[in-house]
Chain A
Amino acid sequence: MDALFLAEVMLAGIGSGALYALTGVAFVLIYKATRVVNLAIGEILMLGGYAFLGFAAGLGLPAIAALVLAVVTGGLLGWLVERSLIRPMLGESPISVFMVTIGLGSILVGLVQLGWGADPLRLPEFMPATPVFIGDAYLAPKVAVGFVAAAVVIAAFLALFRFSRSGVALKATAGDQGAAYSVGIDVPRVFSAAWILACATAAGAGVLVGAIGGISPTMGVFGLSVLVVVIIGGLDSIAGALVGGLLIGLVEALAGAFLGGEYKLVVTFTLLLLLLMVRPYGLFGTHEIERL
């Protein structure tokens, strides 16, 4: 096996891993703030891709404007979902809330099929086409752009949590809701903000993923891989989502290159099962101790 091929495969893997990480961060954001496992994240991502298509191809807007509008659409959807579906479920068992998001995913898939049909579509080209070389290894330009964009957004998120007032409020809410309330943090607003931010991020990631691989109503399967990423990283850890994303991206790329494309999912899920046996709360997740 020559080293150059290996390097290229790994680069592509890290590139798609960055998108996993980005979506994973969106997932963790919701989980950290509201303790909701959002299984519809893949479908929200899909909706982002379709919104971009609608704005760019349907209305003929320039790519940047369409991208911004797609992200805004994602944010609006997040707000709507939080207010109409998630807030009435406050205090219900986590399993019920998780089923609500499954139902939401199904609704979104149906809506997209109604609007755009069930066939896969291509997004209009908006990324540079000059090939990127790192050393001698070739990297598809779209993957490179995706990686850079994901890295920038994740860095911005990390800075936001560390330095901004609302980021700190979010961390406080994640830590202890009651305490956050008592120091004057508007917890319901934090919930809304988390959903808006996360869904906007997912919609943005959907545009990137769609630009690389095209969009289709079954794109929500991407969410399944993201689920593996966040479980491996630990549901409530941003660092975990980063490491998990890159790891799963690499593993999928290697499995796809050396075993065949159909092995991707089975390899990652086997990895997940093995890890769950050893560390049930993920690599970086908080180990919650139950008391009676």
Chain B
Amino acid sequence: MRIGTLKTSYAADEALFDTALQRGLLVALLVAAVVFPFVASPYWLFLACLCAINVASATGLNLLTGYTGLVSLGQAAFMSVGAYTVAVLEIRLGTPFALNLLIGAGLAAAIGILVGIPSLRVKGLYLAIATIAASVILHFLFSHWTLTGEARGLSMPPARLFGIAIDQPFSLYWLIMPVTMLMVLGAANLLRTRIGRAFIAVRDRDISAEVLGIPLLRTKLTSFAISSFYAGLAGGLWAYFFRVVTPESFPLDNSIFYLAAIIVGGMGTILGGILGAVFMTLVPELLKFGANWLTPIYPDALSALAPVRTIVFGALIVGFLIFEPRGLVEIWVRIRRFFHLWPFRT
């Protein structure tokens, strides 16, 4: 517990960022986010956009799995709903991109509710399997429906704003990054409302929550809806980012990726979702750097990259669960505590 943060007004008590350090870091982050596209190369901008999309989706999954305690292996499938909706709307109707994104996210939320219906009767792993079933069915649907281009998928024109095509990493950054920031901020605020508190109560003990008067089914379905809304929005951004959507764009492995991201980052914390998604997105790139660097010494390094990436991915999940179950967030907290208490130790 920190000393000396006495609150003297309700506004101060309710503030989302309640210490000077947090506010300072936030401002620094915002400045960095604004300056970044002007100094970074297109490759780094590309990575930043990818990270932002993954952060958006992982935050959605965190609301469902980390805060409501419902494991879902369908996050990638919900993303594919958003991505396909956006692609179809953009190709067929050419409606403005903001509307497309919202419709895509809304449709994903509707399907999320549908998938969440078994959640009242089945729990834990049975529910995870039910979400796998849903993603298998969605994958089948997308790869056999003429509207979604069957197995070939869809390629779509870029988003347009006032007649300017948003098709370069630089312009895409200005579309993706603000949307992601708004989504994360929304999630952080949601958890301070009645709905968010209900999520946490359901996670901690669902029967007790029901006894306290929280409608279980409605809370669980709300969680599914919000989580898949996030996934759908992230999927829509993904579609505008890559501009090709195929049934293989969102395999089951991606759902596992998002689950891994929130585990590595720290389940049930907003910061954890962000850290985990960024970390898990950047690790393969780090490995690629490593392989490039090793090539002069060991010529086969690049061909071994794919299996090594799979191994590292699995090892990260296992390692974090065994040695650091609360994820990267806990490491950050530990560092912060060290400096708070210095020169004393906990």
Do A and B pair up? The answer is yes
A-to-B contact residues, CB < 8 Å:
37, 85, 88-89, 92, 94-96, 98-100, 102-111, 113-114, 118, 224, 227-228, 231, 235, 262-263, 265-266, 269-270, 272-273, 276-277, 280-281, 290, 292
10 contacts between A and B (CB under 8 A): A88-B322, A95-B71, A96-B325, A109-B314, A111-B307, A111-B311, A114-B308, A272-B130, A273-B137, A276-B130
Bound-state Cα–Cα, A262 to B141, Å: 11
Q: Does B140 contact A273, Cβ atoms closer than 8 Å?
A: no
Q: Does B314 contact A110, Cβ atoms closer than 8 Å?
A: yes
Q: Which of B285-325 contact A (CB under 8 A)?
A: 304, 306-318, 321-322, 325
**Segment at the A interface, from B119-127, B181-189, B225-233, B235-243:** B119-127
Chain B residues in 8 Å Cβ range of A109: 307, 310, 314
Contact of A98 among B125, B306, B309 (CB under 8 A): B125
Chain B residues in 8 Å Cβ range of A96: 263, 321, 325
Bound-state Cα–Cα, A100 to B316, Å: 10
Bound-state Cα–Cα, A276 to B211, Å: 25
Contact of B314 among A94, A103, A228, A280 (CB under 8 A): A103
Chain A residues in 8 Å Cβ range of B133: 269-270, 272-273, 276
Chain A residues in 8 Å Cβ range of B34: none
> Taking CB as reference atom, which chain B residue is nearest A114?
B307
Contact of A118 among B126, B132, B306, B308 (CB under 8 A): B306
| Secondary structure type dominating chain A contacts | helix
Is B172 positioned at the interface, with any CB of A under 8 Å from its CB? no
> Taking CB as reference atom, which chain A residue is nearest B128?
A98
Q: Does B304 contact A276, Cβ atoms closer than 8 Å?
A: no
Bound-state Cα–Cα, A172 to B283, Å: 45
Q: Does B310 contact A85, Cβ atoms closer than 8 Å?
A: no
Q: Does B315 contact A107, Cβ atoms closer than 8 Å?
A: yes
Contact of B310 among A99, A102, A110, A280 (CB under 8 A): A110
Contact of A269 among B125, B136, B313 (CB under 8 A): B136
Q: Does B321 contact A110, Cβ atoms closer than 8 Å?
A: no
Contact of A102 among B121, B124, B256 (CB under 8 A): B256
Q: Does A269 contact B132, Cβ atoms closer than 8 Å?
A: yes
Counting chain A CB atoms within 10 Å of each CB, the highest count among B207, B309, B317 belongs to B317
Q: How many residues of B contact A (CB 8 A)?
A: 43
Q: Does B121 contact A85, Cβ atoms closer than 8 Å?
A: no
> Taking CB as reference atom, which chain B residue is nearest A227?
B129
B-to-A contact residues, CB < 8 Å:
71, 118, 121-122, 124-126, 128-130, 132-134, 136-137, 140, 143-144, 205, 207-208, 211, 256, 259-260, 263, 304, 306-318, 321-322, 325
What is the CB-to-nearest-CB distance from A255 to chain B, in angstroms, rounded to a whole number?
12
Contact of B317 among A106, A113, A235 (CB under 8 A): A106
Chain B residues in 8 Å Cβ range of A94: 124-125
Chain A residues in 8 Å Cβ range of B125: 37, 94-95, 98, 235
Chain B residues in 8 Å Cβ range of A85: 318, 322
Query: Given that A262-B140, A272-B133 are known contacts, is A103 also in contact with B318, CB under 8 Å in the complex?
Result: yes
Q: Does A277 contact B318, Cβ atoms closer than 8 Å?
A: no
Counting chain B CB atoms within 10 Å of each CB, the highest count among A89, A98, A276 belongs to A276
Counting chain A CB atoms within 10 Å of each CB, the highest count among B124, B130, B310, B312 belongs to B310
What is the CB-to-nearest-CB distance from B316 to chain A, in angstroms, rounded to a whole number?
7
> Taking CB as reference atom, which chain B residue is nearest A108?
B314
Bound-state Cα–Cα, A102 to B252, Å: 12
Chain B residues in 8 Å Cβ range of A231: 126, 129
Bound-state Cα–Cα, A160 to B335, Å: 54
Bound-state Cα–Cα, A219 to B176, Å: 37
What is the CB-to-nearest-CB distance from A43 to chain B, in angstroms, rounded to a whole number?
10
Chain B residues in 8 Å Cβ range of A102: 256, 259-260, 314, 317
What is the CB-to-nearest-CB distance from A270 to chain B, in angstroms, rounded to a whole number?
6
Contact of A224 among B132, B304, B318 (CB under 8 A): B132
Bound-state Cα–Cα, A224 to B73, Å: 13
Q: Does A114 contact B311, Cβ atoms closer than 8 Å?
A: yes
Bound-state Cα–Cα, A103 to B325, Å: 14
Q: Does B315 contact A103, Cβ atoms closer than 8 Å?
A: yes
Q: Does A106 contact B311, Cβ atoms closer than 8 Å?
A: yes
Other A-B pairs beyond A265-B136, A269-B137, 20, CB < 8 Å: A85-B318, A85-B322, A92-B325, A94-B124, A94-B125, A95-B125, A99-B259, A100-B321, A100-B322, A102-B260, A103-B260, A104-B318, A106-B314, A109-B310, A110-B310, A113-B306, A265-B140, A266-B136, A269-B132, A273-B137
Q: Does B318 contact A280, Cβ atoms closer than 8 Å?
A: no
Query: Given that A85-B322, A107-B311, A113-B306 are known contacts, is A280 also in contact with B317, CB under 8 Å in the complex?
Result: no
Query: Given that A114-B304, A265-B136 are known contacts, is A95 also in contact with B314, CB under 8 Å in the complex?
Result: no
Q: Does A290 contact B311, Cβ atoms closer than 8 Å?
A: no
Bound-state Cα–Cα, A243 to B315, Å: 35
